A and B are shown apart, each in its own frame.
Chain A
Amino acid sequence: MFSCVRKVPHATATSAIAAAFVLGVGFCAFSAHAADSVEVSISIKDHKFDPSQVKVAAGTPVKLTVSNLDATAEEFESRALRVEKIVAGKSSAVIRLNPLAKGSYPFVGEYHEQTAVGVVIAE
């Protein structure tokens, strides 16, 4: 029984290696395309996006800054863009989009889905 317990540090080392491996893959996949991304800003006021329609060029990475002018937090959510990000009240958050195929990608403010609706149009 005791010998089993003593083996745990070995397991730690191996799982740490496994984790490092996973991390490694993650970081190997890093890309330097951030430099040529297009920057777009939108704001949230009274639980509405302004502008609610964001036009971007297809095939270009986008750095979308969402400024929340309301005092309340909002969650920028888009199934189509695969993004879910909380924007605290009176603050802003950056959302990074990989190059998009042509099309429209709706998004909502999850905490105020009735009013906070918008769309990214890649063309």
Chain B
Amino acid sequence: MLAALIIVFREVLEAGLIVGVVLAASRGVAGRGRAVALGVLAGVAGSIIVAAFATQISSAFDGRGLELFTAAVLLLAVVMLTWHVVWMADHARALTARLRELSDSVEAGAQSVIVLGIATATAVMREGSEVVLFLSSIMLQNVDTAAGVALGSAGGLALGAAVSAVIYFGLTAIPLRRVFAVTGLLVTLVAGGLASEAIHQLSNAGLIAPALDATLWNTSWLLSDDSLLGRGLRVLLGYRDRPTALEAIAYVMTIGGILLLSSQHLAAGRTATANTSA
């Protein structure tokens, strides 16, 4: 029961933190609840499919299949989060005004809501497939009763969801004037972390040249990736205790890229508005 609780808690927390941050960053967008709910469902379905074909996926591409698949899923998430930040930067002003008036939420258009759903689905699928594999493994072993596993999993799910909810409500408590700046930055950092994780997967597939795969520093003595705080900060800020050169490059470039895109987009938006009003 305890093993199930720990594993499920850890994976749910990792996915839940991303969902919590993205949800908080989408305040005032109509249909976000439904998009996230559908994303979670799609992610769970995806987890079961991935777990069922784990052996086939793993042995593809000379044993590199799982790493390549995970890297692709991660990069998809990075693209979705990038789109999300850029779109929100554009709409923050309108959203803030609407929220202040406590009027209806902003009709975001189908695309931005789909982005939200896909980002959620990728986060859930990545962590969920590990849960499914682990739980099916415990069931096979008969070391734990079905009831024990079910209880442990439910407890882990509840705990993980509770911590994610704390993050979400913490973020929504930020004053309205600042909320989109803070959540936008946080989503940007999450995207940076996912990009460096994608590089880590490619490194595990043996596809990164040794020079770029060299460890830059080791701060595991200070904060280990294994610790709960380390894991949390890894999801939220992209923290790694032993980053390689290319992981760091991917992190910095993704964050820089998103900041550049959103500032360009904002500037373009302002020029357009100025031209219309003139």
Contact = CB atoms under 8 A, between A and B. Distances in A.
Task: Determine which residue in B138, B203, B220 has the highest number of CB atoms from chain A within 10 A of its CB, and name it.
Answer: B203
B75 A11 contact: no
Chain B interface, DSSP helix/strand/loop, else mixed: helix
B103 interface: no
A10 B257 CA distance: 15
Interface residues of B, number: 68
A22 interface: yes
A91 B209 CA distance: 28
A63 interface: yes
Given A25-B250, A26-B198, A83 B204 contact: yes
Interface in A64-109: 65, 71-75, 79, 82-89, 91-99
Interface size classification for chain A? 35 or more
A95 B204 contact: yes
Task: Determine which residue in B82, B206, B220, B254 has the highest number of CB atoms from chain A within 10 A of its CB, and name it.
Answer: B206
A30 to B, nearest CB: 5
B257 A21 contact: yes
Interface of A: 1, 3-5, 7-12, 14-16, 18-19, 21-23, 25-26, 29-31, 33-34, 37, 61, 63, 65, 71-75, 79, 82-89, 91-99, 111
> Nearest 10 pairs between A and B by C-beta?
A94-B63, A96-B206, A31-B209, A73-B137, A15-B82, A91-B55, A72-B137, A18-B257, A19-B79, A11-B86
Given A72-B140, A95-B204, 13 more contacts: A3-B272, A15-B82, A18-B82, A26-B198, A26-B250, A29-B209, A33-B209, A73-B54, A82-B204, A82-B244, A83-B204, A88-B133, A111-B3
